[in-house]
Structure 1
């Protein structure tokens, strides 16, 4: 049970929000956040003193009070070879000082905390980048598409966001984690996607083409597949059994850099294609072998109406197996099987409503 002085301090602490400032920026810690993080511990003199656990508020305050964002070391390809572009530290609030500073403010009945700005280190420093072993192209894959449809805008936008990303040794890359929710504010537009067995228009539709292109770069680079899901229906522009859909928040496309080297992702595109290149240190020669299609399921004929109806061309369903064959010095060291089952896509005719 709290002693009277501590009770008074606690009540005062959560009576109103507290302001935190640094470098001319200011953010608020709410009464609820103060109450959640506030603790009382022994002061060593028979009494109690306030302590504040800033773990819950730190991420939000770090973002709100970021003065200059740190810049990761990156790479540029010069005459076919990667060169390091140096990192740059940013500046923001001293996250480690938050808890003690808020506790001190609570103890003194103060409603505003001023903290000095400190350097914020990038995720990948120049020194780290130079040790990553990014020295050669280890895989590359291109998929093609018709020109000029709205989905092409989305494919180009997601490629621009991912371009230059570095995946460190042991790190798992999440496409949704890196790109986030597709929205119009960042240049994504409405385009068809598969939802509940039908084609529907949604912001960001078509980005699965990029996921498929990257999946194949992962496949031929010899990296670990963590999470991928094939499209419900087979799409002829993709290699059967060697493709991936993606939506937000699920299904995601994730892969792990299970090598000792960093992986630089470079993307490029034309009006009719998108390419993903991986630069690292080559470990394997990769071959792909596919079975024939089996367990064939026929197309069904459907007719629907309504303004949102999008016709579907109809494609047989089938199963297929793909093997990824890992070789070193011409010798097979491992084989990995990917089993995929496609539902039959109905032939849907839309009648005017």
Structure 2
């Protein structure tokens, strides 16, 4: 009888324990290997990874960055041969603004921390050549292209016009060539990133700013008009006319804002015109007699001119036609110190004194001219009148004009500053009231009133009349006393055949007393005594010469 053993609960198959043990051992070893693999790959660059020939595999982020930076020192310093057209040069990548970002490059290949077997597999088997992350400094690259353009590029030639010597000469436009910067930047960037040692940069055509059509327009509107005729610059008190032959070499036709424009050498133009010589001084307002009454003569502003104003006026006229070629020059306005309102406030409104002195019929035209120079003399409050400065030298009868002026001023209340009486009394002149003028003697009076004083003078028949105009502020009483301190004349005999006898006259002194009061107030403001002493004039008695006795 054969017995068969059945499996039952609580019974293990034959050899089962050994199998289970093996499985457990394998499992433990696999997990241990996985952990070991993770520990070896965690946070590191895959083995075999290279960047531009530099091995950075198996390193953590910091070690890989350091290794890449160190390894790229030589790579980064190698120049790149750059060709542009027929021009070739070498450039240091750093000079062109190119550099490798080691940290970013390592971060790109490092990958995330992971237990994923694929990540671990890639670490141990997936390392390969990786292109670096490149930084670009746009400012440095633009500067490099600027320098390269200056060497390899060809600037466009604008159309131009020369007016040298008064002749119109034309320059035809021509296209230029410059680096195509957008495409060139990409090509240079890629060459550096991929480790290429040479690169060709593209060019592009650059059209001129001023073409043939604009050249033709400039000839018609600028060159031909500029040479068509003279230009006249009108200043406040003068004009300067310039002929084309004078200014042609100062002109140039230049490119401004993409168009042809006329320009001129301002210094050369100023040398022709001399702006400062055209300056005008301001003229103060004054007062003169118009139709027998005082009237304000308006002030005139002065003008100061400079190069800028002359240049602007010239350029506006040189391309104009006809009358428009005469151009006013704008200067800097200088106002007068004494304005129309100042003159009106002087209060010169009425004649407050007058004096008449007879003149001999022998006076010539020069006396009338002296009278005209005196007429219109204006004294502001505080001013001092000088006969010599106002009238100047008078040929003949100057004393008579000065006498009329002094007495008119004296009766108007002017303060006597300087008066010289005649050395001997002259018949026809008021005793004690005459005034002599000349090289050593000046007549001076000061206006101490609150109003202006205007002298007017005129010839009436055989007399000269001087009026003083103002606003009457004072009452003046002048009295001439009786002569005193008489000095007898001497008598001399003259036997000269050409003797002219003279009665002569005694010398004497006389006082002129003036009392000045303010209108409405009888109390004297001042009393002046003017003493004049006349020297005697000798008498001349003509005697016949004694006849010789015959022997």
Q: TM-score, normalised by structure 1?
A: 0.60
Deviates more, 1:77-86 or 1:263-272: 77-86
CA contact (8 A) 2:421 2:532 kept: yes
> Which whole-Å CA distance do the structure 2 matches of 1:156 and 1:258 have between them?
29
Q: Secondary structure in 2 aligned to 1:326?
A: strand
Q: Say whether 1:285 aligns with 2:472.
A: no
Q: Say whether 1:262 aligns with 2:452.
A: yes
Deviation at 1:131, TM superposition (A): 1.3
Q: Deviations over 1:83-138 (max 9, x none)?
A: 212222345789xxxxxxxxxxxxxxxxxxxxx97656657432221111111211
Deviation at 1:81, TM superposition (A): 3.8
> Which whole-Å CA distance do the structure 1 matches of 2:488 and 2:425 have between them?
13
> Which whole-Å CA distance do the structure 1 matches of 2:381 and 2:485 have between them?
40
Deviation at 1:74, TM superposition (A): 3.5
Q: Say whether 1:335 aligns with 2:547.
A: no
Paired position in structure 1 for 2:418: 227
Q: 1:143 aligns with which of 346, 357, 370?
A: 357
Bigger RCO (CA 8 Å, 6+ sep): 1
Deviates more, 1:252-261 or 1:69-78: 69-78
Distance 1:126 1:306, change over 3 A: farther
Distance 1:229 1:266, change over 3 A: same
Distance 1:23 1:82, change over 3 A: closer
Q: Give the 5 Å matches for 1:1-150.
A: 65=277, 68=280, 71-77=283-289, 81-91=293-303, 124-147=338-361, 149-150=362-363
> Which whole-Å CA distance do the structure 2 matches of 1:231 and 1:117 have between them?
53
Deviation at 1:206, TM superposition (A): 1.5
Q: Say whether 1:218 aligns with 2:409.
A: yes
Distance 1:77 1:310, change over 3 A: farther
Q: Secondary structure in 2 aligned to 1:338?
A: strand
Q: Secondary structure in 2 aligned to 1:279?
A: strand
> Which whole-Å CA distance do the structure 1 matches of 2:495 and 2:422 have between them?
23
> Which whole-Å CA distance do the structure 1 matches of 2:464 and 2:349 have between them?
23
CA contact (8 A) 2:359 2:397 kept: no
> Which whole-Å CA distance do the structure 2 matches of 1:277 and 1:283 have between them?
16
> Which whole-Å CA distance do the structure 1 matches of 2:490 and 2:416 have between them?
33
> Which whole-Å CA distance do the structure 1 matches of 2:280 and 2:287 have between them?
21
> Which whole-Å CA distance do the structure 1 matches of 2:536 and 2:279 have between them?
53
Deviation at 1:224, TM superposition (A): 0.4
Q: Which has the higher helix share?
A: 2
Distance 1:298 1:153, change over 3 A: farther
Bigger radius of gyration: 2
Paired position in structure 1 for 2:537: 345
Paired position in structure 2 for 1:169: 381
Deviation at 1:231, TM superposition (A): 0.4
> Which whole-Å CA distance do the structure 2 matches of 1:338 and 1:313 have between them?
28
> Which whole-Å CA distance do the structure 1 matches of 2:509 and 2:351 have between them?
33
Q: Secondary structure in 1 aligned to 2:512?
A: strand
Deviation at 1:271, TM superposition (A): 3.6
CA contact (8 A) 2:490 2:538 kept: yes
Distance 1:65 1:79, change over 3 A: closer
Q: TM-score, normalised by structure 2?
A: 0.40
Deviation at 1:296, TM superposition (A): 1.0
CA contact (8 A) 1:155 1:209 kept: no
> Which whole-Å CA distance do the structure 2 matches of 1:310 and 1:70 have between them?
57
